[in-house]
Structure 1
Amino acid sequence: MGLRQHRERREAPRDHQRSALVRDRQPSFHAPGALNGARQGETKVDRDLTEAIALHRWAVIAEAANTRLSPAQKGVVVRAIAAATHTHPDGTQRRYARGTIDRWIRDWRTKGLEGLRPRPRADTGVVRARPELFEEAVALRLEVPSRSAAQIADIVWHRHGLRVASRTLRAQLRRRGLHAEALAAEPRAFGRYEAEAPNDRWITDVLVGPWVPHPRVASSGRARLFLIVDDHSRLLVHGRFHRFENARAGQEVLRAAIVRRGLPVVLYADNGAPFSNAALARTCAVLGIRLVHSKPYSPEGRGKQERLNRFIRERFIAEAEHVGIEDWGELNDRFEAWAEQVANRRVHAETNQTPMARFEAPGPPRAADPARLIEAFRWSVARRVTRTATVSLESNSYAVDPALVGQRVELRFDPEDLTVIEVFHQGRAAGVATPFVIGRHTHRATPPPPRPDPPPTGVDYLGLVAAAHEAEVVGPISFSQMPLSGLGTEEAGQGTDGSEGAEGAR
Structure 2
Amino acid sequence: MHSGDKSPALAELTEAQREQAMSRFRVLRSHTERGVPLPRAAQAAGVGLRTIERWLAQYRADGLAGLVRQTREDRGRRKIPPEAVELIEGLFLKKPQPSAAAVHRRVLALCKEREWPSPSYSSVYAIISRLDPALTTLAHEGPARFRDQFELVYRHRASHPNAIWQADHTQLDVLIRDASGEPVRPWLTTVIDDHSRALAGYLVFAGAPSAFQTSLALRQAIWRKADPSWAICGIPDVLYVDHGSDFTSKHLEQVAVDLHFELVYSTIARPQGRGKIERLFGTLNTELLPELPGYLKHGKPTTEPKLSLSELDRAIGNFMLGTYNARVHREIGIAPQTSWSGNGWLPRMPDSLEDLDLLLISVAKARTVHRDGIHFQGIRYMDPTLAAYVKEAVTIRYDPRDVAEIRVFHRNRFLCRAVSPEHSGQAITLKDIQTARSAHRRALRGQIRERVTPVADFLSPHTETTGPPAAKTSIPQPKKSKLHTYREDLE
- TM bucket (normalised to shorter chain) is 0.3 to 0.5
Q: Which has the larger radius of gyration?
A: 2
TM-score, length of structure 1 as denominator length: 0.39
Q: Normalising to structure 2: TM-score of the pair?
A: 0.41
